[in-house]
Amino acid sequence: MPSDLHDVLGDRRLLVLTGAGVSTDSGIPDYRGPTSPVRTPMTYQEFVRTAEGRQRYWARSHVGWARMWTAEPNATHEMLVAMQDAGRLTGLITQNVDGLHERAGHRDVIDLHGRIDRVVCLACREVTTRADLHERLAALNPGYESRVGEIAPDGDVVLGDTGDFVVAPCLTCGGDLKPDVVFFGENVPKDRVERSYALVAEAEALVVLGSSLHVMSGLRFVKAAHQRGIPIVIVNRGTTRGDPLASIKLEAGVAETLARAVLAG
């Protein structure tokens, strides 16, 4: 481990909080990286308020799904699994919705913002798989997924007019379907927040990887760690809202920093 990190972290067992910068090496872009274009994500309010908003979301997401779900875990995901297996981690909280930590073999991940591979009905709350919905949408919209557009964070693709896209309803009650993720403007479920705070309360140090901490959903755990007085290390290209609270802030790539840490023990 680089000497400055070792001085701060020592042999402490670590709680890790990951953000979009962990998945960029898997081909999934982030919202707030130094070279990321300005994007306007779908909000929860827009999604639930208008049929047109849901139609636009599902059209873009349908085209992007195949690309999103063919993404593979990268070296960072694999090194975190190795650190877990070696007993270095007390837990992992991710702000990502791609499921790549679990696919890499990580256990007991807290998916703070949900999972894009699940779908929930806004009426009856039944949860189903995104793979099943994708097949239904493909049948309702033959050839639609061949449309071309720039892939955006969270797996959607930037498209033009989506007014011809046919949205699939819930098979159980006919209600509106939503990906089982926390949209901008929506609250993180209370149980996930409580579980995450419990991990902070038990942690010997907190390491933040690839997150700008722009939203309070992740920043609050950095604040809680700071209140406890435990070491905080932030690794991210670009400034973060947690920088003033960090014991060490590294403007560096996540994978290269973890590789040095793993090799050093």
- What is the secondary structure of 205-236 as a DSSP string? EEEEES----SHHHHHHHHHHHHHT--EEEE-
Look up residue 223 and give its amino acid: K
- pLDDT score for 40: 63
| Cβ atoms of 179 and 41 closer than 8 Å | no
Give the separation between CA 43 and CA 193, rounded to whole angstroms.
20
Give 143's DSSP letter.
T
| Residue 125, phi then psi, degrees to nearest 5 | 70, 10
Give the separation between CA 20 and CA 11, rounded to whole angstroms.
27
- pLDDT score for 146: 80
Which parts of the chain fold into alpha helices (H)? 3-9, 44-49, 51-69, 75-85, 100-103, 130-140, 190-202, 216-228, 254-263
Q: Is 113 labeled as catalytic in the residue annotation?
A: yes
Look up residue 26 and give its amino acid: S
Look up residue 100 and give its amino acid: L
Helix, strand, coil share (%) of the chain residues, nearest 5: 40, 15, 40
- pLDDT score for 1: 42
- pLDDT score for 8: 80
Give the domains, in start order, of the chain with CATH numbers: 3-263 (3.40.50.1220)
Look up residue 146 and give its amino acid: S
Mean pLDDT, each 10-residue run in order, the chain (265 residues):
68 94 87 53 90 93 83 95 94 96 96 96 97 96 81 70 93 97 94 98 96 94 98 94 95 87 56
| Cβ atoms of 196 and 190 closer than 8 Å | no
Catalytic hit among 77, 106, 113, 226: 113
Look up residue 31 and give its amino acid: Y
- pLDDT score for 162: 85
- pLDDT score for 69: 81
Contact residues for 259 (Cβ-Cβ < 8 A; gap 6+): 75, 79
Strands 14-18 and 177-181: unpaired
| Residue 205, phi then psi, degrees to nearest 5 | -165, 155
